Amino acid sequence: MLSLLNRRDYLAGAFALAAGTSLPSSFAQSKPQEPKWPAKPIRIVVSFAPGGLTDAYARLYAEQLTTQLGVAAVVENKPGAGGIIAIDHVVKSPADGYTLLMTTSGTVGQNRVLYSKLPYNLDKDLGIVTNFPSGPLVVGISDKVPAKNMHEFIEFAKQNRTTMGTYAPGSYPHMVADQTNKAHGTQILSAHYRGESPMWIDVASNQIQIAIGSYQAFSTVQARGVRPIGVTGTYRSPKLPDVPTLAEQGISGSLVTLEGGLPLMVPTGTPEVVQRILSKVAVDGAQTEKAAQLRTSFAIPNKPKNLTQTRLEWERDVPIWVKIAVDLGIKLD
């Protein structure tokens, strides 16, 4: 015979079993279901004007999102203020995977020390999803400048007023100009543009004497009065195999061997599962013929990596970029 306590337990268990058998939907409804993602268009906010590598990658990635996920993806260019306008817009957007940022490593790396005040916290407000490699950048000069390599350009700059074109304040070429000034006593000025295309046009007309940027953008003016005198990074450009790297030329400093990238980022708090999907789209998309054509056009031999690898590399490289900016003492405000 059941005791009173056991009898009560038995009846409670029987009731629960009966309820579970007759009303299975009530149990399913008791656990909140995660909303389906994606369920609406995705925006990719680009911190530069159309025409450069950042914009090209963003538009290719938008196509990959549409193909792989079946939703519309649009690119929205918000250039200006060294990437601050675009970054601020994304940081203030909901962390739901529908607003992404495509920018350069500099605007979300060393900008955290180049600016005293920013409307966001670059250490906390953004997370990286993947990093599209930029490949070796081309150092190109006007044909009016009588230099065949970087050392000769430095000697020219010691005797003549020269200007380095950059695609944003605090960008890679801006830091190269400042590092050259510090190391060699030159007074190279930095002229900041809203993207690569207008920068290279001004090199071709000798309004500025030197610039650093992607091969594809450089190639549009190569036959119009611009010639390469070096490339950045640790290996030569596949499109310019006879042009030595700055490191091969004996230009010192860790900056010239660093390879920047084009990080795809999301507001902090974006669900991990969404970030992994976004990363997988980039990795899978890199295997397509269209992605291969873009890399060939821009002379980029490398492909984006998965979320885990990207995060590890980002944590390794950002402190290096930041230290260089600190050592140069550059301030943009």
Q: In tens digits, what is the pLDDT along the chain, a chain of 333 residues?
A: 434 334 444 444 443 444 444 444 333 443 445 568 999 999 999 998 887 789 999 999 999 999 999 999 999 999 988 889 999 999 999 999 999 999 998 889 888 888 888 999 999 999 999 999 999 999 999 999 999 999 999 999 999 999 999 988 878 899 899 999 999 999 999 999 977 889 999 999 999 999 999 898 999 999 999 999 999 999 999 999 999 999 999 998 778 988 889 999 999 999 999 999 999 999 999 999 999 999 998 999 999 999 999 999 999 988 988 888 888 887 777
Q: In the prediction, which pLDDT does 16 show?
A: 41
- Tokens for 181, please give them: 């000034």
pTM of the complete model: 0.79
The neighbouring-strand residues paired with 227 are 141
Any idea where the domains of the chain sit in the sequence?
42-134+260-328, 138-257
- Tokens for 111, please give them: 């900008």
CATH 1.10.150.130 describes domain 42-134+260-328: no
Q: Are 42-134+260-328 and 138-257 equal in CATH topology?
A: yes
**Cβ atoms of residues 88 and 249 within 8 Å:** no
**Cβ atoms of residues 201 and 191 within 8 Å:** no
- Highest CATH level, class, for 138-257: alpha beta
| Distance of alpha carbon 183 from alpha carbon 179, whole angstroms | 6
| Distance of alpha carbon 174 from alpha carbon 325, whole angstroms | 10
**Cβ atoms of residues 240 and 216 within 8 Å:** no
| Distance of alpha carbon 123 from alpha carbon 120, whole angstroms | 9
CA Rg, the chain, in Å?
26
Q: In the prediction, which pLDDT does 18 show?
A: 42
